[in-house]
Amino acid sequence: MDYKEKLKASRDRVSGAPKDTFDEEMESDRGRSINSAAVRRLQQKTQVFPLETNAAVRSRLTHSLEVQQVGRYIAKLILKKLGEDRLNEFNLADKKEGFVSAIEIACLLHDVGNPPFGHFGEEAINHWAKSTLLPIFDEKFGDNIEDDIRVKDLMKFEGNAQAIRLLHSLQKLNLSYTQIACLLKYTRAAHEPKPENGDRFNYRKKKPGFYFSESEFVEKLRSELNINDGCRFPLTYVMEAADDISYCIADLDDALDKRILTVDQLHEAISTTWDKLKIGKLPEDDIEGNRYLTDVINSGYERYKKEPHNKSHAYILTLRTTLVNDLANYASDRFIDNHESVFNGTLDESLLDGSDKFYLATKTLKKVASSHVFSNKEVERLELKGHAVISGLLNIYTPLLKLSFSDFKKLMQTNMLKPYPIETRLFHDLPQKHKHTFEEAVIVLYERDTVSSEDETTELYYRARLIIDYVSGMTDRFALDEYRDLSATA
């Protein structure tokens, strides 16, 4: 294993201010990322509770900062446990700072592609694509167009794939291949089918990781970093583990803050769920393992009972402190124990997977959040509201997709289409940056004297991306305000 193959400073475009070392190039990536609009928008996208006014409840930004810290901790544990001899053996000794920084920034950026209203926003985009966008392609190009990879690609919006598109194609941050590779959590293109159970890529390809529009870029990245098809980049496993550790605790913390659950209710839910999940999963003679999460929450409950003031904080702080430390150590051990398969990207599971007490602890907390928080009436009503907003906005901009190739070309070139006053005004409403990205993708098509059906399909693909990029990039509040303004429902 030679990390010189993986940790490289190369970029898709030559940097205007090249640095001398890999560590310094990662500092450059840090600056580009932290100062990006993509990160700033995270402060107005909420983690679980859309349109939340309580600043104590996590936004996507505060969640990402927590993930960043956990990722940094795991990265440092890995380097410490490897020791100087192995760091030298793997050519990591002179890249330690860059190794940590790349993981940190991947953790900070991991949610930038998520649309307003979280995963329900994703559902709204995918529902619109199948119910509204697909019939437009069918009408223009015939029923067989459904088998076209570009159309299949549009049917599967995914926040992780959108993050790659946002950072590379829209924001044009020109991050290093190494930095972007850390974010490729899933390794299949959006048009590829989901693998069957038992497939050796089942975990790594369970969701789309990138779109047709970024496929050439991803191929260059894989070639540069020696990543085989379907395989991950080694540092991605750490980013994923940090995210899983953070949100399985944070969602329950927010539920306490929102008073969706009391400490007594949460304590009982964790205890009951743990007792059910561990049956048959842990050896009966493993007394310490069977009591692991019980002992953690009981320790928190004792602090809760003794604390005179911020009692719920005392409970959740105990859980967070203990679990973050234990799970980070577990993830770092799993990284090292499976080092070769992690390095090659062939490990088809998370660093937190397994069959021991730590895996079951995270599964328990996620199950409690799913059954007691996400199903809460307030959360579900907010999700329904978000679905209506996203669907409504996409439907408002749909007339732009119904225009012919020649009409939209004229609109792009002249900024005016007299026979279509609504479409003209909708076009004016789109951000110039997004229109410029679209123009770059289709300029060759627009310069041709004659175009084929294939050309028109490609143009409509990028036109659909233009609309999806705009709506998915909105913050929760901006999306709601835009929907109200454009639908006159204020």
Residue at token pair 């990207």: 345
Q: Are 251 and 369 in contact (CB under 8 A)?
A: yes
Q: Of the residues 29, 148, 243, 348, which is catalytic?
A: 243
Q: Of the residues 30, 41, 72, 110, which is catalytic?
A: 110
Quick check: is 244 catalytic? no
Quick check: is 425 catalytic? yes
* Residues in Cβ contact with 73 at an 8 Å cutoff, skipping those fewer than 6 apart: 324, 328
Quick check: is 111 catalytic? yes
Q: Of the residues 111, 251, 348, 469, which is catalytic?
A: 111
* Residues in Cβ contact with 125 at an 8 Å cutoff, skipping those fewer than 6 apart: 115, 157, 390, 394, 468, 471, 472
The answer to whether the Cα torsion of 398, 212, 114, 386 is positive or negative is positive
CB atoms within 10 A of CB 237: 27
Task: Record the tokens describing residue 269, joined without a space.
Answer: 């839910």
Long-range contacts from 265-270, C-beta under 8 angstroms, 24+ separation? 265/372, 266/315, 266/368, 266/372, 267/297, 267/300, 267/301, 267/315, 269/368, 269/371, 269/372, 270/297, 270/364, 270/365, 270/368
Q: Of the residues 30, 32, 58, 63, which is catalytic?
A: 63
CA distances from 282 to 270, 324, 338, 442 (A): 17, 21, 22, 57
Quick check: is 337 catalytic? no
Around 5, how many Cα atoms within 13 Å sit in the side-chain half-sphere? 13
Quick check: is 356 catalytic? no
Q: Are 412 and 436 in contact (CB under 8 A)?
A: no
Q: Of the residues 40, 425, 428, 484, which is catalytic?
A: 425
Catalytic residues: 63, 110-111, 243, 425
